[in-house]
Structures are given as structure tokens and as C-alpha cells.
Structure 1
Amino acid sequence: MNLIDQAKRDGLISFSADGKYLYYTNHGNKRRNFDNPEEATQLDAYLQLRYHYGYGEQQIALFEPVQMGASTREADIVVFVDAGRAKPYLVVECKKPDTSGKEFVLAVDQAFSYAVASGARFAWITSGTTNEYYEVLSDAPRERSKNRLPNIPRAGENEPPVFKYAYKGLLSTDEAPTDAEPVQPYFELQKLSESELTRRFKLAHNTLWGGGELNPSDAFDELDKLIFCKIWDEKEPRRPNQPYAFQVYRNEDPEELLKRVKGIYEKGRKKAPEVFKADITLTAAKLRTVVGYLEGANLSASDLDSKGRAFETFLDSYFRGDFGQYFTPRAIVEFIVECLPFTHESLVLDTSCGSGGFLLYALDKVRKQADDFYHKERQAAEHYRHWHDFAEKNLYGIEISEQIARAAKMNMIIHDDGHTNVIAADGLLTDEELQRKSGNSGFRYGRFDFILTNPPFGSIVKQTEQAYLKNYQLGFKESDWKAAVTQPQAPRLTQSTEVLFMEQCHKFLQPGGVLAIVIPDGILTNSSLQYVRDELALRYRILVVVSLPQTAFTANGAGVKSSVLFLQKHPDEATEAQRQRQRELEQRLLREQNYHAQLAALDDAQRFAQRDWGAFLNAYPDLTPADLGLSVAAVRAVALPPAQRRLLEQTAEYRTWKKQLADGYTEQRQRLAEQLDEARQQALRHELLDYDIFMALAEDIGYDATGKPTGRNDLKELAPEINRFIDHHIHGTGSALFR
């Protein structure tokens, strides 16, 4: 039961039927507009004073007048020493959750002024997200840093505590105490909502950034390190009431806190050296502020979806704003993962994993599968091993940006791990280079059961910049199948990244493995990319094609029309057999169409036409043979002396006529080649793609171009059908996907 429900049950508060107004029952039934966000902060502070700190109802005054010289001001909450309310003890100043740093400093000054004027010993300033506690010393009423406390005293305590948070203190994370329960000395860490976690991450980042003191990239790195320290500290075994290390202690020099947090970091880094290589570089003052935002949150126990979405929301807004990175929308990631029938035994890879969206959803899918096999509580060890072994041993990711790769690892750690096999490297390197660069032997060609990926679109790999272009067959120009003599393939000067990633994914898959990939529609429609489609048809069985709406990526900053392909890798021998069938089909078409003979006939016709001087002169009647010093008989007999032929060929009219003549024959050759190419494509579709392909058009995928929910998602309806379709064909091919 949460605090508000507990308070309503106990008769401390009530709400209007529409929830707009809040009534404090024991304070004159005072009515407050609950649409005002500051009122929610004040209610939370009031209920904490009652239930967490143990102060009696008669000790607490709401909206209490405070005499400030000649004027009277109103303090949000004043707590008195006893029920007689003779002597103020604590002043509470409440602000809305999104209060800025400067506004919060002003709130601290305001609380101090109330405390000094009323004679209160302590001050608590809260926005819900941010809390600061002070002892207002009579000999130093303007002092701030030295007067700061980790917490205010509980009822009956004479002195403030040395620390606030300890293992199994007052609260379980879900329930408030009843009046019959004793008030415990310390607080337990609390689960936070997605919105609250997101807010705290952003506040912490803005503090580190400091409006330019650190660049946003460095600030993000430092925040990553501190989140890592927070999680690592939570995992440290503790006795009841033993304090957490990641928090501010009473009368502690910020340098001591910095030293303690660095100790946590070093301990964690030894067990996960691949996550962070650089030291913490923050000042003690900056670190203390960020610890204040995060110290009370239980990142380990917070709902997996909530904390994951909070971190991803922060990641997405940060990277999109500062790096121009466009991550795959959640609806598309969820759809692709739901379509694929992988299990905890499957090896899963994302060759361009970004912040880890596909990996996280794959992990969550296996975690949910564990629910079908084991009871979460009675078989906790087996349940944990089922999904955690998958996360540790079967889940792999490659990301070219070291910083985004580190963010992906942190994302995995926040989701209860699975970061071990996420590496920072160019996903187009060979498997040997990836293993050498990362020290991870798991990145081997022909090993993975499933690949889920959204490769970068539109980037161009140049041969002069990246020597690895020669490692890809699609890095070479395609041979003209119609040529009479096969020519060696020439290397391309450039190739798009999405095309190379499709070939790289093929290399990583085992025979029978399945690739789910987001691609720009140009690969499916552009005539210049027919060679790519031909190669895909030889290497894969095309299982599913789902066309996404034009707006699928607009809200994430990209507007390319895209589709999702699901492809199953043929064994090498099957691909070679397909390739041989294709060659035989092509030779048959060349013979049936008598293509080379037709080309030769066109060549002969062009040569004869270019010697038909009579046709030339007929095309230019104003240009007579006499003008050129030629006899009509010589022209008609096509018996021009060499000197006169050169004279004729030097005229502008002749050059124009010859070009027009050549263009006409070139057009005939192109038309002949296009007709033959079309006949080839029809034959290939009929003879090589003679199987069912699941094709679908998703018109609405849950959000519009601005990211606003639409209330409809075609992908949710398609996913179960596609899953059954893919599962059927996987089992029907005898692949080794389910070991």
C-alpha cells in the first residue's frame, strides 16, 4: 500500500470525486488544488513526516504563518517539538518536481529565513526529486555547506543521523508502515517510477554538464560511471541497518565521498573491466550533487521496464540531440523480437546495436520464457540461471561508437546484466579482426542462430578509406550475365553500409539461421540495386517482407521509407546449387533469345548505315555533293576517295548525323538488353523463388510522425502470425536452430 492510500484509509486526507481537489482532514479540512504540482510535493512531505519520521498529527502544522519582521509569510509545513506547538522544530519548504537548480537555491534561502525567524532548528527543502536537509545553527545562520545533513531527525531523536539509507531500514519498497509498526532508524532505498528516474538522470546530467563546464559527451560518460557505481554498491552484501556507501554522510568532506565512490568504482571495474577504462574525473562538489540525486533510488529493485525505459528515454534524447544518432523506435524493436522464435539456447547478435534495444528486448523475451518453466520464488535459482546464462553467453552486440557501446553496456547492466559480449568496433570488420580487437572469440562467422539489426542507412564506404571493401562480394561490380566472355569483377569505388551489413550478417549466421533487418526501401525497388536483390535470393530464403509507413522513423529524426526483411540463410551447397540453376537459366535465355546474334546484327547494320552517304545527304538536302567537291555518282556508288571521305566526315552536319544514328542503335541495344533482363527476372521469380513469402503492409504502427500515440498498431496483430510462419519454415528446413 502506498502512502496516499494509507493516508486515505486512516482518514488523514480525502479527494474530490474528480481528483482535482485534496482535503487535509485534520487541518480544518483545508482544500488544495491538486493539479498544482507543488501540492503533490507537499502532500508527500506531510505523509513522510507522519509515516516515515513518526511525527504526531498535533505536531505538524500546514500553511503555518511565520512573522518576518513587519510582514507575515506562510511556511508550507512547520513541525513543532510537541503537540502543544509552542516551539517550532523543523521548517519544510516544498517545490514542484521540475524546479531548476537556481530556483532550488532560492528555496533553500527561503527555508532558512523561515527557520531563523521562527527559531526552528532544522530545515528540509524538497521538490520530491531533490531533497536537502540543514541544521540552522544560531551562530552561523547563513552557512550552507557545513550545515547540510544527510537527513532530518525522526520523532524522539535529539540528533540528526549520520546517514540516511541502510539495508532493510524502515520500508519495504512497496508498503508504508502502519501506526502499530515501530519507526526504524534508517531508510531503505526506494523503487522509483519511470518518469522519476528519467527526471533524476537528466538532472544529474545537467549538473555535470553545468552549462558548458563539461561538454555533454564527457558529462554523459561521467554519469554512466556514477550509475555503474550506484548499481555496484546496491549489489554489495550487507547486514540489516548497515549503510550504503553511495550516499552523503553527516559532516562529511566532499573529498571523502569522492574517495569512497572511487573505491566502489575500482572494485566494480576489476570485475567488469570492459565497461569502463577511464577514471572518474569529477570534482568532489559535482559528485556530491549527483550522489544526492541518485542515493535514495533502488536501481536494482526498481521495475525492470520502468528503469530500462527511463535510461533509454534519457539515452535517446541525449544521443539524438548531441550525436545525430537515430535509434530504432521501441514499437519496431518489440515487433521484430516478437516475430522471432528464439529460445534461451539460441545465439543472438546485433551487428550495429546502438544503445542495445534489440539485445534488451531479446533478453526480456527469454526472461519471460523462464516464467513458463520455473516459479520465480520457489525456483528462483533455476529461473535466474535460465535467462542470465543466455544474457552472459548467448547475447552479442557490436557498436562502432565507443561511447554508445558503453551506453549499451550500461543499459544491459541496468536491466540486470548481459553486457559481457557487447563490444566497441566497426561491425564491418572481419570476424578475425573483431576477435583480435575485442579479445572475444565469440564473434565467429557461421555461429549465430538469429541476427536482429537496424544498420546505419545512407553512409558510404569508400575503397580508398576502408580497405575492407574488398572483403565483400558486394564490394565488387557485378558481372554482366549477358556478356559473351566473362570478365573479372572490378572493385567498386564505394558501397553503401546497409548493403555491406546485409552480407556481413550472412557471414555471421549459421546455415538455417534467420536475419531480421530494417532496410531502406531503395534496396527493394531501385533498378540499380537489382544485383543486391539477386544476391539475397541466392543466399537466403525470403521469409517475410513488412513495409513500414513513411513516418516510422520521422519522430526519431529520419524520414527514409523502410521495410523489415526476415531472411533464412541457405546452406552453402544450396546457395551454390541456386547459383548454378541461375547460370543455366541465363544461358538458356541467351540461346532462346539469340541475343548475341541480334547484337552482332545491330553492329553490322550500324556500320553499313554509317557508310550510306546518300542517306546522310538526304538528311541534309541543303548540303549537296557539289558543295563538298563530290560527284553524285561517287556518292551513290559509296566510292569516295579517302581525302573526300575525310572532308565529308569533318562537317558538323555529318558528326551530328552520325551521333543520332549511333544513339538510335544504342537505344535498340538497350531495349534488347532490358527485355532480356526482364525475361530473366520473371524466370528467376518463377523458377528460383517458387515458395511462399509472407508480405504485409503496416499502415499504423502505434505512433504518428511526431511520436504521439495513435491508439492502433498493425505490428501487434502481425507479429503472432509472422512468428508462426517463421517457426513453421524453420522447423521445416531441418536447421539446427533448436539444439
Structure 2
Amino acid sequence: MDHFEVIKNENGKIVDFLDNIELEATPEEFVRQYYLRVLHYEYQYPINTLAREVAIHYGSKELKDQLGQPVRADIVVYRTAKAKANKDQGSILLVVECKAPNINTGYNQLVSYIYNTSAEGGVWYNGDAPQYYRRLSAPTNELIDWTGIPRKSEAWDALGQRKKEDLKRPIDIKGMLRQCHNKLHGRGVDGDEDDLTMDMVRLILAKAMDEEKSGEYCEFYCTPEEYRSEVGREAVANRVHRLFKEVVSNNQDVFSEHENISVGARAICDVVIELQRYRLLSDLNDSTDWDIMGHAYEQYTATYLKRKRGQFFTNRLVVDFLCECVGPHYQDIILDPAGGSGGFLTGAMRYVRKKILSSTDTAIAKQRQLDKHRTNLFMVEISKRLVKIAKTAMILNGDGHAGMTQGDSLGDLSNLNEHVLARCGMEKPTVILTNPPFAGASEGRISDPHVLDNFSTGIKWTSRGGEYAPTGERNAEGVPPEMLFFERCLNWIAPGGIIGIVMPKSFLDTQTYFPARKLMFDGYKLLAVINCHKDTFQPHTGVRTCLLIIERFEKDMTAPIDYEIFLAISKKIGQDSEGFPIFKRDHNNAPTEEIDHDFDEILKDYNAFKQNNLIASEYRFAINRSDIDNQLRINPQFYLPNLNETIKQIESIDGIDGWSVTTLGQITTNVKIFKGPRLKSENLLVEHTGDGIEPYYTPSAVLQEKSESAKLLNINFASAKQISTINAVRVHRGDIVITRSGTIGRVSYITKRLDGAIVSDDLIRVRIPDEDIRFYVYQFLQSKQALNQMLKNEYGAVQQHLEPIHISNILIPIPDDWNEVSEIINKSRTQTTMREFLEDGNINLERMTDSLLEGLITRGNKKQNPDTNI
């Protein structure tokens, strides 16, 4: 929550910024309330000089529109508080006309308001980019385009070239960047969002270059006179182009000599007039100031740049959390080998700078430490576009951009930038922080032999004698890029160094990533695993993620036989799936300004773990390295105390007289647990009934009483292979089915109604011929103890999944004498019989209703058309 955010209260109303009264939450009111904040916080106009809905008079009469309604200005800025109190129309300084987004009318209204008052100018604003106007009285009375509006006590003519010492830091940085971007859009600039964003980056770099150059006056400016003429606008554009050429000259590894700002002179001027009054760079010692600017820029680029090749912007909470966990020092050589837009390096800079500035060291020591730290930051990113984004982010976060280079971390490292190799080559970085690109779909895997042959994880593995082992052959199916990046990080980090890395959650327990987990445990110490909340990287991607913190053993150090590993599961991330913030609430259930996440609590427990005084809780605990099985599963969910307590409780039954514990797959010799083949049904889907058309039941359709969401398949269109698959996925009366993706573990019993139905393979089938055992198993699978065992084994990067083997391995208590559970069996059988009776009744009622309505419709038609033979 910030100064400029307009929100609704618990009544769904907007609370007026000026008078604290409730207003209707209309689109136009949101725009007006935002601009009132701009006038106060950015332009320093006191609240007691601002007014909204001000009646405009012509002489002594109140102006009215064509419908006879009073004319009111949206916002008025009075010269003094007394003028506002007296509603003095002769002491109005500015008028603002606000419109709802996408509304482009209202200029004439603004003109009328200005000419009927003493206003010297005004603003037209619909939430995109404001248009500024100044009123001139000589040589003629006219309203002309201007380059802004003055701040409190500032002259209109001062809105041109300023002294650098007079520049002010922007308060609404996000709004400033958004309005600049919208200005480019408003000029009809060709190109997609990426092109516009890159031009914005170039313009910001030109502005930053102007600020860092020597000289008393700014070169990045546009006077009102220049703005009003084509020659003047070209002069402004030429100055900006020269500044950007200096940026290119100083960063030849990133920018080609021919790269330039591509938008025209008018668009450049539009951005210049929004930025020229502000100072983007700040004092190196002001860490909070840098953080605000850098964060706004990161949000801007994340909003407008498209995600490509698995690239997405790392949630800042994740960045800051990993930096806190790893705890880099100013002497650390810090590397991100998949740097993207530079989020981790700017995060590391924020963390180290804050640590330095909050220390008790002398001022000169702090400055030396800051200088050294800025030279210890390195990034490699294959995309030149993102390197430019990252360099700009680092400049706006406080410099340190020299080590941010373009290159391929998965290629031959000798081809990397010489500066990187000299100071951050193999086994030189002491800290690696990274979020590598994920494969996502299978086509994102890397299959280039020139790449795979340089990685041990590029080799195919297979099961041999009950163990997963390398075949020695290249993995022809390809390898997820994140696994290769993981291996590269392990090899790149210096002995004794620490890695903090974001990986897909499936890394923790699937066979695909087993080779990387094996490599990690051979020579490295796993310090922590944290499962991220499912919305952590939304709305950019739905991939579920985890965080790993890994330490490389010192050379010649004997690896400990056993050690503890910190595990945690984040349950809230402070935003929803659309990326909108979720705030903590106070004791009155009103939202506060604090983001509602649990990374602070996880960090506190991780620090306690490192001090050997962790108090374990349900979602934050530790396990021993020796607790990890031969599949090297390290998913915190697999080790949750409450889920494992369930297994212990079930196992304890094995010692009770007359009872034993077995797995579901061994409860009887002829039990079958399977999921069936995947049915590709796109060519069979129809929307009408008829001969050869059958329902196709998804999991939700099976679980519904009347299966309203079932799809329809035309079996007449099916190929021989599809017919074979259809027959394989048909269920039969008595089958127990279990959802295996999405919301896992929901159990249903196939009754007579669905006997022989075509059912999705997203349901695992449990087929038990013995009816007594079947009804007992059906009831047990609906218990908390059975569900906990399913939850323990769920896996997946996007959706959660279960496999038949997980159901087969569920522990279930069984009696020596089945009469012990005869009452449960009989009641389960009775309930199933009653359910079938109800389903038969529903079918009969539907038929009777349909028959009744058809008869009535026929009689009604005959009555209306007595001569027609219907």
C-alpha cells in the first residue's frame, strides 16, 4: 500500500482523499482520487488548497450544461486556503478535468472552466498520460500545450532547463514510469510492448547519463518553446540521442554501435517532459531511496516485457529472502549465471549495502566497502535485451553494473567476457544466487549434443536392479535447462561457497532430476529446502517452485556422515494468482499496509536452525541426511511431521492382537490399481446426442450427482487405436476411483449408473473382486489417514499429481477376522445400494418429466394450429 493507491473500504466505497467522506467507486473517481494525490505529494500543493466538484460561474450565474445541470470542475487548485474556503473563482490557479480510462473527450470542458476562472492552466487526465495546458493572455488569449504544471510556488516558465541541484526525487515512481510508457503508446508508436519498453530503458539510461555527467545544468530537458515547434522537438531529440550514444560508448559489450532510441522526436519530448523535473540517481548512502527507485523499475519491466524462453521475473520477496538466508558480505564474489533482468544482483546489492550502512564502521570504511562490493557483482545472461534491462536496474539501484555481461553460461565458459573470467571464473564466486530458466513444456528441453556432452546430467539414467544409474549414453530426449544450470552452479561455486537457487518443485522428488540430486549430495551440503506458495510467480507462470540453499565442502574436507537439513513450506506469499497484493489485517479485520507473507517467519526459523535452537513446527522443521531414502527425495511435504505421524500411527496397529498392516497393493492377490492410457479425444467431441454418442466423464463429472459436466464423444469417428483406448478406460460397477491431479485424493465408487462408462485417466482405478474387502477399502480411502498418505506423495511443478504406485503403497490396517469390520462393510454396502436407488429414481423422474413436457408441448401446438397435422 502506498501514498498513491486508491482502494475501496469494507463498504465498497472510496474514501475521499480530501474530506474522508465515502464516494461511489466509479472508474472516473479512481482517476480523480489518484490525481489529487499527485497534486499533493508530487507538486506539493497543500490539501487545504485542493477541491473537487467545484461549481463554475459565468459572472454571477452558475454555468449549466445542455441538460440544465450545474457545471462542476473535477479538481480545482486554489492559490490559498482562504480562497478555497471562500470558493473564490478569481483565485484559482489550476483546473484538472478527469475522465474514466479509455475516455478521450472533455477538452472543451477544460477550456470552458479555465476561461471562466482565473486559472493559469490545467490538466486533462484519464489515467493514462496527462495532457498539460497553459493559458496565455498576450499577444492573444489562448490555451496552448505546455511541458507540465508548476510545483507549489514555481513559475510556469521554469518548466524547462533546470539546474541539476534543483531536481527532485519522484515519489510516485511507478506512476511516473507508467505515464511515460503511456505517452509512447499515445503517440501511436509502432512496435509491440517489448519495443516500447526497450525504448523506455534507453531513455532512462540517457537521463541517468545526464545526471552523472559533470555540469551545472541538465541536458535532458525540453522547454515549452521547443515542445511547441518541430524544430524545437528535433533539438530535444538530438540532445537525448547524444546522451544515449555516450551510454552505448561506455557499454560496448551490451549495446551495438548502431543501437539508438527508435521512437520519434515528439514521443521523446513527451517522455522528457515527464522525467525532466525528477532526479533518478541518488546518494549512495541512501539505501532506502535506491530501493524504491529500483523496485519501481523492476515492476515496470516485469509489467510490460513479454516472457520468453521460460524467462520470468523473480518475486522480490523471494530475492530478498534468499539474500537474507545466504547473507553475502561485501568481500564476497557474487554471481548470477542466469541473470535475467538482474533481480538477484540488485537484491544482493540492497542487502550488502544495508548491512554496510547500518554498521558502526567509520564513514571512510563504509565508502571503501561499498566501492569494493560494487566491483564484486557479476551476471551472465544470454539475452542482450535482458542485460540492458539489468544494467539499467543496477544503475537505478546504485551502480555496480560493470560485471553484468552477455554470454551463455551453458556453453564454453572460455567464451565469456574477459572481466568475468578474470574475477569470477570457475571456482571463484563465493556466492551464487540465481533463478534459471525452466523448460516448462517438453520442447524447452536442451538436446544439443555440444551442450549435453559437457554435463554429467546430460547422460541418460535408467533403473537397473532396483537402482537408478547412468547408462553412459547421451540423453536423446533432452534435459531441462534448469538441471544443467544447477550442475553448472555446483561446479562454478568456490569451495566453501554457498548457492541459493530457485528450482521447479518437481526437482525435489521426480526421477527426471535424480541425476542432479545425486550430484548435489556428492561433495556438497544441502542446508535448506523451502517449498514456495503456488502463487509466488503468478501471474507470470503457474510453475510451482522451491528454493535450495547449498554449501560446497572445502577442498580436502571429509564430508560428514550425517547432518541436519532445514525444511519449510511457505503457506502465504502476499499476493493472489493475479499478482494483486494481499495485506495483513488488524484486530478489526481492516487491511494494514503490511504484505501478508510468511518468509519472515521462515527466515527467523532458518536462523534459529543455524544456531541449533530451532523449535520445530508443522511447516518448519529439520531432518537428518540419513532420513533421505535411496530415491533422494527432499520434498518437505514428504517429511511433514503430521503426515509421517499418520504412518507411524498406522504402523503401530501392526502390534495389536488380531490386526496387521499391509499395503493396499497387497491386500489381496487379485487387486488391480491402475490409471489407464491417455485418451486423445479432441476429434471425437460433439455437442449433440445420437447413435454412437457416449458421455465422457472427467473427474468432476464422476463426482457430481448427475454428472452435468460430462462431455460427449462420437465413437463413430474413433480410430481403431482410439477404440482400444476407450475400452481400456471404461470403468465398471464396483471400481473405486481416486483423483490423481489438481485436487488429489477425492474418492468415489462406481455405481450401476456409470457401469461401462468412458472415464478420464485422471482417475486412478482400484479394482477389487472381493466385495467385502472392496467396501472396507472404499471407506478407509475416505479417511484422513489415507488422505495424509496421498498428500505425502503428491508431486508436480504446475499441478499436483499422484501415481498408481502411491495408492498401491498406502498402508492399511486389516483384521485377522473380517467379522471385526462387518458393521463398516455392511453400512458401506447399504449406503451404496441407497445411492444406486436414488440414482435410478433421478433417472426415472427425469424421464417422467420429459414425457410430461413433450405431451403438453404437443397438445399446445395442436391447440394453436388446429388445421395442422402435427
TM-score range, shorter chain: 0.5 to 0.7
**Partner Cα separation in structure 2 for residue 318 and residue 354 of structure 1:** 15
Aligned to 2:423: 442
Report which stretch shifted further, 128-137 or 395-404. 128-137
**Partner Cα separation in structure 2 for residue 568 and residue 381 of structure 1:** 33
Q: Deviations over 1:256-283 (max 9, x none)?
A: 1111222322334433444543112221
Q: How far off is 1:219 after superposition?
A: 0.9
Q: How far off is 1:74 after superposition?
A: 4.4
**Partner Cα separation in structure 1 for residue 546 and residue 392 of structure 2:** 29
Q: How far off is 1:499 after superposition?
A: 1.3
**Partner Cα separation in structure 2 for residue 552 and residue 77 of structure 1:** 42
**Partner Cα separation in structure 2 for residue 482 and residue 70 of structure 1:** 90
**Partner Cα separation in structure 1 for residue 471 and residue 36 of structure 2:** 78
CA contact (8 A) 1:112 1:136 kept: no
CA contact (8 A) 2:459 2:474 kept: yes
The residue matched to 2:353 in structure 1 has which SS?
helix
Aligned to 1:472: 455
The residue matched to 1:132 in structure 2 has which SS?
strand
Query: Does 1:690 find its partner at 2:566?
Result: no
**Partner Cα separation in structure 2 for residue 42 and residue 298 of structure 1:** 22
Q: How far off is 1:46 after superposition?
A: 8.6
Structure 1 residues 20 and 491: alpha-carbon distance in aligned structure 2, compared to 1, 3 A threshold: closer
Query: Does 1:189 find its partner at 2:167?
Result: yes
**Partner Cα separation in structure 2 for residue 154 and residue 717 of structure 1:** 44
Aligned to 1:216: 193
CA contact (8 A) 1:694 1:722 kept: yes
Structure 1 residues 143 and 563: alpha-carbon distance in aligned structure 2, compared to 1, 3 A threshold: closer
Aligned to 2:160: 163
Q: How far off is 1:335 after superposition?
A: 1.5
Task: Work out which of the residue numbers 251, 276, 281 in structure 2 matches 1:295.
Answer: 276
The residue matched to 1:251 in structure 2 has which SS?
helix
Aligned to 1:314: 300
The answer for unaligned runs of 5 or more in structure 2 is 5-13, 227-231, 283-287, 585-595, 613-870
CA contact (8 A) 2:336 2:433 kept: yes
Aligned to 1:204: 180
**Partner Cα separation in structure 1 for residue 382 and residue 398 of structure 2:** 23
**Partner Cα separation in structure 2 for residue 341 and residue 143 of structure 1:** 58
Query: Does 1:715 find its partner at 2:599?
Result: yes
**Partner Cα separation in structure 2 for residue 86 and residue 334 of structure 1:** 52
Structure 1 residues 388 and 108: alpha-carbon distance in aligned structure 2, compared to 1, 3 A threshold: farther
Structure 1 or 2: more helix by fraction: 1
Query: Does 1:565 find its partner at 2:548?
Result: yes
Q: Aligned ranges for residues 485-634 of structure 1 at < 5 Å?
A: 489-493=472-476, 494-560=478-544, 562-571=545-554
CA contact (8 A) 2:94 2:119 kept: no
The residue matched to 1:442 in structure 2 has which SS?
helix
**Partner Cα separation in structure 2 for residue 480 and residue 43 of structure 1:** 64
1:719 alignment partner AA = L
Aligned to 2:261: 280
Q: How far off is 1:363 after superposition?
A: 0.7
1:65 alignment partner AA = H
CA contact (8 A) 1:65 1:74 kept: no
Query: Does 1:65 find its partner at 2:57?
Result: yes
**Partner Cα separation in structure 2 for residue 42 and residue 394 of structure 1:** 44
Q: Aligned ranges for residues 112-191 of structure 1 at < 5 Å?
A: 112-116=111-115, 122-125=120-123, 130=130, 132-136=132-136, 144-145=144-145, 148=146, 160-161=157-158, 163=160, 165-168=162-165, 188-191=166-169
Aligned to 1:411: 393
CA contact (8 A) 1:462 1:469 kept: no
CA contact (8 A) 1:518 1:565 kept: yes
CA contact (8 A) 2:460 2:473 kept: yes
**Partner Cα separation in structure 2 for residue 690 and residue 46 of structure 1:** 61
Q: Aligned ranges for residues 312-391 of structure 1 at < 5 Å?
A: 312-320=298-306, 325-374=311-360, 380-391=363-374
Task: Work out which of the residue numbers 214, 219, 235 in structure 2 matches 1:245.
Answer: 219
**Partner Cα separation in structure 1 for residue 486 and residue 154 of structure 2:** 68
**Partner Cα separation in structure 2 for residue 153 and residue 199 of structure 1:** 17
Q: Deviations over 1:156-177 (max 9, x none)?
A: 98x8347264344xxxxxxxxx
Q: Deviations over 1:698-717 (max 9, x none)?
A: 33344444444264533312
The residue matched to 2:472 in structure 1 has which SS?
coil
CA contact (8 A) 1:353 1:399 kept: yes
1:516 alignment partner AA = G
Task: Work out which of the residue numbers 416, 432, 448 in structure 1 matches 2:414.
Answer: 432
User: Sequence identity of aligned pairs in percent?
Assistant: 22
Query: Does 1:229 find its partner at 2:213?
Result: no
**Partner Cα separation in structure 2 for residue 247 and residue 352 of structure 1:** 37
Structure 1 residues 47 and 555: alpha-carbon distance in aligned structure 2, compared to 1, 3 A threshold: closer
* Structure of larger gyration radius: 1
1:270 alignment partner AA = S
Task: Work out which of the residue numbers 235, 245, 248 in structure 2 matches 1:266.
Answer: 245
Structure 1 residues 294 and 209: alpha-carbon distance in aligned structure 2, compared to 1, 3 A threshold: same
Structure 1 residues 33 and 520: alpha-carbon distance in aligned structure 2, compared to 1, 3 A threshold: closer
Q: How far off is 1:99 after superposition?
A: 6.4
**Partner Cα separation in structure 1 for residue 140 and residue 255 of structure 2:** 43
CA contact (8 A) 2:45 2:151 kept: no
Structure 1 residues 237 and 348: alpha-carbon distance in aligned structure 2, compared to 1, 3 A threshold: same
Task: Work out which of the residue numbers 213, 236, 254 in structure 2 matches 1:257.
Answer: 236
CA contact (8 A) 1:344 1:387 kept: yes
Which structure ranks higher in relative contact order (CA pairs < 8 Å, sequence separation ≥ 6)?
Answer: 1
CA contact (8 A) 2:446 2:480 kept: no
**Partner Cα separation in structure 1 for residue 384 and residue 278 of structure 2:** 28
Structure 1 residues 41 and 153: alpha-carbon distance in aligned structure 2, compared to 1, 3 A threshold: closer
The residue matched to 1:328 in structure 2 has which SS?
coil
Structure 1 residues 161 and 337: alpha-carbon distance in aligned structure 2, compared to 1, 3 A threshold: closer
Aligned residues: 554
**Partner Cα separation in structure 1 for residue 511 and residue 87 of structure 2:** 84
**Partner Cα separation in structure 2 for residue 32 and residue 542 of structure 1:** 54
**Partner Cα separation in structure 1 for residue 567 and residue 204 of structure 2:** 43
Q: Aligned ranges for residues 640-659 of structure 1 at < 5 Å?
A: none
CA contact (8 A) 2:78 2:91 kept: yes
Structure 1 residues 280 and 525: alpha-carbon distance in aligned structure 2, compared to 1, 3 A threshold: same
TM-score (norm 2): 0.55
Q: How far off is 1:326 after superposition?
A: 2.3
The answer for unaligned runs of 5 or more in structure 1 is 5-17, 25-30, 169-187, 579-687, 729-739
Aligned to 1:732: none
CA contact (8 A) 2:382 2:406 kept: yes
Q: Deviations over 1:325-375 (max 9, x none)?
A: 322222222211111132000111111122222111111111111123357
Structure 1 residues 46 and 533: alpha-carbon distance in aligned structure 2, compared to 1, 3 A threshold: closer
Aligned to 1:607: none
CA contact (8 A) 1:80 1:88 kept: no
Aligned to 1:659: none
Q: Deviations over 1:283-311 (max 9, x none)?
A: 11011111122222222248223222211
CA contact (8 A) 1:702 1:709 kept: yes
Q: How far off is 1:390 after superposition?
A: 0.8
Structure 1 residues 77 and 63: alpha-carbon distance in aligned structure 2, compared to 1, 3 A threshold: farther
CA contact (8 A) 2:407 2:416 kept: yes
**Partner Cα separation in structure 2 for residue 482 and residue 369 of structure 1:** 53
Structure 1 residues 90 and 111: alpha-carbon distance in aligned structure 2, compared to 1, 3 A threshold: farther
Q: How far off is 1:568 after superposition?
A: 1.5
